[in-house]
Structure 1
Amino acid sequence: MPGFVLLVRPRGDDDPAMRYGITVTKKIGGAVIRNRMKRRFRALAAELLPERGLAGADHVLIGRAGGVERDFSLLRAELVKALGRLAQEPVRPEPVEGLPSSGGAERKGRASTGSAQTGRRA
């Protein structure tokens, strides 16, 4: 099992820039562990995305439990393989049925506040 999950979604805004995001949950470990994993992902993204990423798309790396202990060269090889598969398979640009669009116009009811979204108490 790889040390991460790679999600890619074309933006469809005719901007060729590649963007990336990184997320690592608290299930992985404390702040020191999570930050170490994010630093490793940033280094991989800076090295590989400019030449192998999908232009005009958002790339998200989601850290998995084995990613911190995994050798950096193995993580790099896994990302190269994932990006290679991405280049071979078409990416579905249309929204997936059942998921809200990125605009958020389909929401009903009260608007949520920033504190409600993050779980913080005011």
Structure 2
Amino acid sequence: MKRQYSLKKNEDFQNVFKHGKSVANRQFVVYQLVGDEKASIRFGLSVSKKIGNAVMRNRIKRLMKEILRELSPEMYQNRDIVIIARKPTADMDYYQMKKSLTHVMKVAKLFRKKSHV
């Protein structure tokens, strides 16, 4: 994921939390905030220290970034999205995580096409 597509500043995260809408399942919480039409999609990832040590947290973030890299072309582009990983993600492999993240993003109505897998 390129730097321009990521949320880095605390004020950006707080803006999404304060003004955005959230959807959750057992593994992830997804906050989204609609921006202006010309803006590109930006992601912020959060993995709590409660989930595990730094190695585990970074592994989860790497998997999430790869999944988002695959899914982002099919998503609405004018969004700021914050994804928070919950405790069960520590025990998930790539395919389980992709299935769960795709599900919660479908519920949040982030995909442009109705025929997404």
* Shift of residue 37, structure 1, vs aligned partner: 0.8
Partner of 2:48: 25
Partner of 1:72: 94
1:4 to 28, 37, 40: 28
Amino acid at match of 1:39: R
The ranges of structure 1 where at least 4 consecutive aligned residues each deviate by more than 6 angstroms after the TM superposition are: none
Q: Does the Cα contact within 8 Å between 1:18 and 1:58 map onto a contact in 2?
A: yes
Partner-residue secondary structure (3-state), 1:29: coil
The percent of aligned pairs where both chains have the same amino acid is 31
Asked if residue 34 in structure 1 is aligned to residue 66 in structure 2, the reply is no
Partner of 1:101: none
Partner of 2:83: 61
Structure 2 residues not aligned, in runs of 5+: 1-24, 111-117
Q: Does the Cα contact within 8 Å between 2:47 and 2:57 map onto a contact in 1?
A: yes
Q: How many matched pairs?
A: 86
The structure with the greater share of residues assigned to helix is: 2
Larger Rg: 1
Amino acid at match of 2:57: R
The structure with the greater share of residues assigned to strand is: 2
Q: Does the Cα contact within 8 Å between 1:16 and 1:55 map onto a contact in 2?
A: yes
CA RMSD of the aligned region, Å? 1.8
Structure 1 residues not aligned, in runs of 5+: 89-122
* Shift of residue 48, structure 1, vs aligned partner: 0.9
TM (norm. structure 2) is 0.65
Amino acid at match of 2:26: P
